[in-house]
Amino acid sequence: MSDFFIGEDPFATERLWLEMYRDEWFSKNVVNTTVISAVDMACWDIKGKTQDRPVYELIGGNVHGDTIRAYANGWYTETTDDPATWQKAAEQVVDDGYDAMKFDPFGKSWQRMDREKFNHSVDIVRAVREAVGPDVDLLIEGHGRFTAGQALEVANALSEYHPTWFEEPCPPDSINSLGKVANKSPIPIATGERLVSKYEFRDLLANTDVDIIQPVIMNTGGITEAKKFAAQAEAEHVSFAPHNPQGPVATAISAHVDAAVPNFMIQDILQMYDVEWVNDLLVDPIVVEDGHIEIPQRPGLGVELDKDVVVEHSYSSVKDEVHTINLFEKDWETRSLVD
Identify whether 143 is a catalytic site residue.
yes
Residue type for 206, please?
A
The candidate with the shortest Cα–Cα distance to 71, out of 101, 103, 104, is 101
Over its C-alpha atoms, the chain yields an Rg (Å, rounded) of: 20
Give 47-51's long-range contacts (Cβ < 8 A, gap of 24+).
Answer: 47/10, 47/11, 47/13, 47/300, 48/299, 48/300, 48/301, 48/302, 49/299, 49/300, 51/299
β 67-72/292-294 pair status? antiparallel
Measured distance CA(56)–CA(234) in Å, rounded? 18
Q: Which helix (H) or strand (E) holds 68?
A: strand 67-72
- Catalytic residue of the set 243, 256, 292, 313: 243
Identify whether 120 is a catalytic site residue.
no
- Catalytic residue of the set 143, 237, 313, 323: 143
98: alpha, beta or left, given left = phi > 0 and alpha = psi -120 to 50?
beta
Name the burial class of residue 282, with classes exposed (0-12), middle (13-18) and buried (19+) by CB atoms within 10 angstroms of its CB: buried
The residues that are catalytic are 143, 243
